[in-house]
Amino acid sequence: MAGNSKTIKVEYLARVEGEGALFIRYDDTEVHEVKLKIFEPPRFFEAFLRGRDYTEAPDITARICGICPVAYQMSALHAMENALDLVVTPELRTLRRLLYCGEWIESHMLHVSMLHAPDFLGYPNAVAMAKDHPEVVRQALEIKKAGNALVRMLGGREVHPINVRVGGFYRAPKSEQMDGLRDQLSTARDLAGQICRWAAKLPFPDNTQEIEYVSLVNPDEYPMNEGRIRSSRGLDISVEDYEKHFREEQVPHSTALHSVLVERGAYLVGPLARFNLNYPRLSPLVRQIADELNFKPPCNNPFKSIVVRCLEVLYAFDEALRIIDNYQPPAQPYLATEPQRASGCAATEAPRGLLYHRYEIDQRGKITHAKIVAPTSQNQKTIEHDLRQMLPKFMHLPESQLQGLCERAIRNYDPCISCSTHFLQLHLQHDQRGCS
Amino acid sequence: MVPDTQLIAADVHKPKLAVWKFTSCDGCQLSLLDCEDELLLLAKEVEIAYFLEASSKVEEGPYDISLVEGSITTPNDVLRIQEVRRQSRFLVCIGACATAGGIQSLRNFADVSEFTSVVYAEPEYIETLKDSTPISAHVPVDFELQGCPINKLQLLEVISAFLNQRAPQVAAHSVCIECKLKGNVCVWVAHGTLCMGPVTHAGCGALCPSYNRGCYACYGPKENPNSESLCHWWAEKLGADKATIIENLRNYNALAKHFKVKSKEWDQGRKGKT
């Protein structure tokens, strides 16, 4: 019974990450069934946000993900400010960009060094890899540490930072705090350049995919906190129109909802999408290294996402240092807000891709409706699609190698279930005869 | 609290460390990976035998020390935690989810079937328990490290205590003490900011007051908190309404005993000085 999954339009998404499994049914000629099963228990964030104060949304939604809490905080803040018609000052906007740089660095380097790189070199983990490649692992940890230091300086701590609020920050950093990070970030930027060169030389399986890429696009800068939503196949909409073009569906095999582009289906968000749609807006240093590596958009091989992550880490250091060099403490760390009956939405670029929030609040500022669409739910269909496309090319491999390759293909996407999907339970069922 | 020294001494191999995830955001496990300076050193002292966030290599149990993150929210979780307990000599709960139900325990004060129908078009596919519960509601635990997220240095202290066969040194006093040690100006006294510091367990280093905001109790209750007095002060001196008081008691550690009892009393209107 292939293709028996049904699709239903739904209004809300539950937060899911952590636990996943993969089921593939195939025969000698054909892939019959690919199911990325996310069985992480639902946590009901959209449900229990109702009734909570609008000022709590950044702190509460940060708890959706310990690996990218800043992304949830940024999206929630912008959505609330969109609802309240509040535009923060350029200085505060820049500080938020700096915080996001820190998260991109530490989250990307966690994935690159601890989850992804061991795949290419045949190790079960970074500790085992460190025995043979001590320098690379040491450098990666140094880079990650610098990202953590940046998030800690601005946000108070690495996991679930406490310093952001609707309207700005609780406290703006002093110039000395910024200056104190410059040397560490500068050294780490050099290391990031080396890691880019190292990553580009990894052995990549041949796996070119035809995918529609979706990312925020800004005219003047690589996207983080805002922009229009564009795709590689011509979509160009404002964030306010997101729900007209993207729809969530529930499938029986996953507690995470599947997101689709209306009438077009699967699409991809994340580093590959950002890189392919925003290459000219990377900094000169990043483009120079990309040139040197002959690594140009479009990059259509998800296995090469590790190189893009490294380039984005380099960009984040470059951008962070630019911001720090120009930093003047803002006159006030936040703009005051007053609740009113309103609704608002926002999308930002989490390390794993586009993250959409929409809230409705009442006149007392209590949340009456919340919708959150995470990058992983948007990429689930594409991950399954990728496996379907890839498998026939590698069916000659022994089953154990094929299984390993499928697990690797999923890790390419760094799904927010990465923590456990690094170690998916994989069930391969080989049919003796083809069946429909 | 002190690990069984005979069991450890009998081991010729390095102690086996396992890290388990239940319903959670992964942030507390991540705190271990955030130990950039200590991670490789730690790997020399213990065998990382089971840690799905970091390794695809899985060693068979039993394990000398198990770190458990997350709360129990599915029928399968109930069975799995019992197996983890059977396989573990020393079981440490890490974080607000494992020690106090986590933010997802807000469902315990509502109707979970309604929650499910809000989120899913076809709730029948979703298997979830009515309540989110801490690990200690299901199996005996040897140590609980509070925090949302935990403090990675406190985690290293707990592991180090285990390796050195002594009790972990984790201060049980309030965030107020940490504020005083840092020389912070009291945000409550100076600015009238609602702050959970007086009843909240130390560990964060008085982070929020240091950033000019009130503590929101992500480390859960301290030992013997006087929440009743605190709530009345909020009501009388800061003009906090009932909903605000309940919200502050019910967040990341809503099932911690003191917060749970106090929030129910306020919710049911049985508040009052005793």
Can the peptide bond before residue A333 be classed as cis, meaning omega within 30 degrees of 0? no
The tokens of B26 are what? Answer: 């992964």
Label residue B170 by pLDDT band (50, 70, 90): very high
Q: Which ranges constitute the DSSP H helices of chain B?
A: 5-10, 27-33, 39-45, 75-87, 96-100, 112-119, 152-163, 175-182, 187-191, 207-210, 227-237, 242-249, 257-267
Q: Is the pLDDT of residue A420 over 50?
A: no
A44, A286, A386 from A254: Cα distances, Å: 15, 38, 17
* Closest residue by Cα to residue A261 from A249, A272, A251: A249
Rounded-to-integer distance, Cα B153 and Cα B145, Å = 11
Q: Is the pLDDT of residue A417 over 80?
A: no
Residue A183: count of CB within 10 angstroms of its CB: 10
- A325-343, pLDDT tens digit by residue? 999 999 999 999 999 999 9
Rounded-to-integer distance, Cα B83 and Cα B77, Å = 10
Using a CB–CB cutoff of 8 Å, tell me whether A187 touches chain B.
no
Using a CB–CB cutoff of 8 Å, tell me whether B121 touches chain A.
yes
Using a CB–CB cutoff of 8 Å, tell me whether B216 touches chain A.
yes
3-state helix, strand, coil in chain A (%, to 5): 45, 20, 35
Residues of A (228-287) whose Cβ lies below 8 Å from B: 250, 252, 255, 257
Rounded-to-integer distance, Cα A250 and Cα B122, Å = 7
Using a CB–CB cutoff of 8 Å, tell me whether A130 touches chain B.
yes
Q: Quick one: DSSP state of residue B14? A: P
The residue with tokens 């440490």 is B92
Determine the residue type at B50: Y
CB A114 within 8 A of CB B30: no
Measured in degrees and rounded to the nearest 5, phi and psi for residue A314 equal -60, -45
- Any residues with CB less than 8 A from the CB of A353 and at least 6 apart, and which? A214, A215, A268, A269, A270, A271, A273, A274, A375, A378, A379
Determine the residue type at A346: A
Q: Is the pLDDT of residue B49 over 50?
A: yes
Question: Under DSSP, is residue B188 helix (H, G, I), strand (E, B) or coil?
Answer: helix
Q: Is the pLDDT of residue A18 over 60?
A: no
- B68-115, pLDDT tens digit by residue? 999 999 898 999 999 999 999 999 999 999 999 999 999 888 876 776
ipTM of the complex: 0.91
Q: Is the pLDDT of residue A30 over 80?
A: no
Rounded-to-integer distance, Cα A368 and Cα A381, Å = 30
Among B14, B29, B56, B105, the strongest candidate for a mutation testing the A interface, having the largest count of A CBs within 10 A, is B56
Q: Is the pLDDT of residue A419 over 70?
A: no
Of A63, A250, A257, the CB nearest to B148: A63
Chain A residues touching residue B122 (CB < 8 angstroms): 8, 250, 252
- Any idea which of A19-33, A368-382, B259-273 has the lowest mean pLDDT? A19-33
Rounded-to-integer distance, Cα A359 and Cα A78, Å = 11
pLDDT of residue B115: 65
pLDDT of residue A15: 21
Torsion of Cα atoms, B2 then B24 then B118 then A258, to 10°: -150
Residue A94: count of CB within 10 angstroms of its CB: 18
Question: Under DSSP, is residue A168 helix (H, G, I), strand (E, B) or coil?
Answer: strand
Mean local confidence (pLDDT), A50-62: 96
Label residue B122 by pLDDT band (50, 70, 90): low
- How far apart, in Å, do the first and last CA atoms of chain B sit? 34
Q: Considering chain B, what is the average pLDDT of its residues?
A: 88
pLDDT of residue A26: 77
Chain B residues touching residue A160 (CB < 8 angstroms): 27, 148-149, 218
Using a CB–CB cutoff of 8 Å, tell me whether A424 touches chain B.
no
Using a CB–CB cutoff of 8 Å, tell me whether B175 touches chain A.
no
Mean local confidence (pLDDT), B199-224: 96
pLDDT of residue A287: 98
The tokens of A164 are what? Answer: 């952001």
Pairing relationship of beta strands A246-250 and A258-261 according to DSSP bridges: antiparallel
Half-sphere exposure of A257 (CA within 13 A, CB side): 26
Using a CB–CB cutoff of 8 Å, tell me whether B39 touches chain A.
yes
The tokens of B259 are what? Answer: 């917060």
Label residue B12 by pLDDT band (50, 70, 90): low
- Indicate yes or no: CB of A8 within 8 angstroms of CB of B122: yes
pLDDT of residue A381: 87
**Which of the two residues, A205 and A252, has the higher pLDDT score?**
A205
Question: Under DSSP, is residue A162 helix (H, G, I), strand (E, B) or coil?
Answer: coil
Q: Is the pLDDT of residue A83 over 90?
A: yes
- A214-226, pLDDT tens digit by residue? 999 999 999 999 9
Q: What secondary structure does DSSP assign to B102-138, as a single string?
A: -GGGGGGGS-HHHHHHHH-S-GGG----SS-B-GGGT
The alpha carbons of chain A give a radius of gyration, in whole angstroms, of 21
pLDDT of residue A435: 29
Q: Give the DSSP H/E element, type plus range, for residue A402.
A: helix A399-411
Can the peptide bond before residue A252 be classed as cis, meaning omega within 30 degrees of 0? no
Using a CB–CB cutoff of 8 Å, tell me whether B218 touches chain A.
yes
CB–CB contacts below 8 A, A to B: 184
- Any residues with CB less than 8 A from the CB of B185 and at least 6 apart, and which? none
CB B207 within 8 A of CB B233: no
- A167-209, pLDDT tens digit by residue? 999 999 999 999 999 999 999 999 999 999 999 999 999 888 8
Label residue B161 by pLDDT band (50, 70, 90): very high
pLDDT of residue A256: 67
The alpha carbons of chain B give a radius of gyration, in whole angstroms, of 20
Using a CB–CB cutoff of 8 Å, tell me whether A19 touches chain B.
yes
- Any idea which of A49-53, B122-126, B252-256 has the lowest mean pLDDT? B122-126
Task: Name the burial class of residue B177, with classes exposed (0-12), middle (13-18) and buried (19+) by CB atoms within 10 angstroms of its CB.
Answer: middle
Q: Quick one: DSSP state of residue B150? A: P
pLDDT of residue A310: 98
To the nearest whole Å, the CA of A12 is away from the closest chain B CA by 5
pLDDT of residue A78: 98
**Which of the two residues, A376 and A280, has the higher pLDDT score?**
A280
- A111-155, pLDDT tens digit by residue? 999 888 998 999 888 888 999 999 999 999 999 999 999 999 999
**Which of the two residues, A270 and B111, has the higher pLDDT score?**
A270
Give the E-state strand segments of A8-162 in sequence order. Answer: 8-10, 20-26, 31-38
pLDDT of residue B274: 39
- A353-380, pLDDT tens digit by residue? 999 999 999 999 999 999 998 898 889 8
Of A17, A114, A171, the CB nearest to B212: A171
Mean local confidence (pLDDT), A73-85: 98
Q: Is the pLDDT of residue A14 over 90?
A: no
Mean local confidence (pLDDT), B196-218: 97
Can the peptide bond before residue B149 be classed as cis, meaning omega within 30 degrees of 0? yes
A8, A235, A295, A308 from A275: Cα distances, Å: 32, 16, 11, 7
Label residue B270 by pLDDT band (50, 70, 90): low
A-chain residue closest to B101, CA distance: A43
pLDDT of residue A11: 23
Mean local confidence (pLDDT), B23-44: 88
Rounded-to-integer distance, Cα A395 and Cα A123, Å = 23
* Closest residue by Cα to residue B193 from B203, B185, B181, B182: B185
CB A414 within 8 A of CB A117: no
Using a CB–CB cutoff of 8 Å, tell me whether B195 touches chain A.
no
Of A11, A66, A157, the CB nearest to B207: A157
